[in-house]
Structure 1
């Protein structure tokens, strides 16, 4: 268990809630969760499924109907030909990460992963006995990688490359040219790719490019996606992966051995999410774009803070070096003294030093108040 990490957002949330219990007003910008309710058509489908008796076990890889619906959605959104036979439904997106790493990585194998990046990548790699090799996302390159650096990190032990676009925590997007270069590295070195695409619908400019759509990559790419972010279904716990044929059975066996299956009624609701009206999810994305602009402009108006404009997801990742504080000191004091909960950049890896992450999954009023509090916090410390 000493090799298993955690997700700091939940630790900060617990600390913030403890302060709230003591009567302190807290603005929550630490947790990556849409502040919208699950759309009513999805809730109704889930309720009806319960009433119709969808409360029993189902096949470990998921219901065939939902797998086909997911494959159709992936085919349309990525421009590839996906089959339901290659889909595995899981209780959330994290199991896809865990099962892929468990299925592929032996002790001594190396896994490339983005840093700053979602902390569970590194945690799961190390827990499974692999060696986590961070691909640095450069702040001066809009938080993109240097392909030559990645090339030099590859060894005969490199078995898997994890990419995440749009990225958590940086909001960066991997461009087509970089994707093509990464695909070439994967093919030249016989590396499989886990492409975490959970935020593809939270893209504020341009269109999504999946590495799976590039020549020769369909058979060496696992796509991770789910419902938590797009459909505000974080508590429903349902996600999915598109796998090369040879990985479907091993991953399905891992599902059988761990969770048996994903809740039946949840799968019925997920099917409605994909085939039903997309008006609410689209409206959510538009609202997040407005909030992004408010947050970025507000942060850049504060002396000592510089914030790049995220192209996707719902996070800002500003540099706070100009404040003279470390990321940990800044985030801790901001919570305790100003009542604004954010995450230190190091929560997302060593290359997050000097940054903090703010989720703009909160109301416009709260975001504006948070900017005001941050400004007052710094002014009170440097006036």
Structure 2
């Protein structure tokens, strides 16, 4: 039996029972489709996870400034040098001292013994870039600028929580708060803080006004960088803020989550690969079962072929080729359906579909291998049949 006769007999055997062949192929189609979709979705989902981790890469840096008995280590105008560094998105200097913590702040100058009119809040001094550096926004009014600082205007910005505690909800009438005996006009309310959330319960004043509360020196600097620039800026920030005294500053930068990101992607890939292999095994069992049933139904044909001179290898090759072709057809159809499924899922989730070319090429080959392995036992059983027993 040459190769052409073998292929012809295999196709004839498949087409002799088209419905059964189609159902057998469907098992492989489902297995290969599930494998391709799971691996493709795993790669696509892993890419989305990597993107989420990249968004969380350390971009927030805090520089702690220790106290100095002589000249301040960081001047208020040092922020201008820092913002000129490549990769710095926003930065602000903040001053806080023991004397400015737990100060009595009230929203009016009326002394009412029947109710509490004063709140214990923290007073801070900061540069105008604080809302951006704290990753917040001005929910009401505006933040003070360099003009307020140069004129030493008695203005203040309240954190969102501090404003609620003091009952300040409107700024159109220029409300004032009282810290000690002095009144300060509230020009803005800052909220939606994603960093330094303790500022929500604080009163922020210009540095020129903060000297009244002992806020003369910068105690920390908040820096936001672009993606990937955190390590570089962390190394350059101390020198930019305090040339010659950079070693005295402490830079705090969150570690990069690269290892966690890679581990998460590996776990997702492994999970989906296991699910795909399980589906493929189910398809292989289906092919083996149907092929075995086919062998049992074609016992008379096998006996006739053996009587006419067919060798054992010819019978085994015929059934192996039939199961292999069934698996190959299921692999081609399953790979096509799987690619379409990946694109559809990605479109529904608004993801960027990611599929390796080797997977689409290897899926039909995998289907053929599954069909070959699934038909191995039925083919060997058919080849072992004796002609007399088969015909009887």
TM superposition score normalised by structure 2: 0.18
Larger radius of gyration: 2
Higher relative contact order (CA 8 A, sep 6+): 2
TM superposition score normalised by structure 1: 0.19
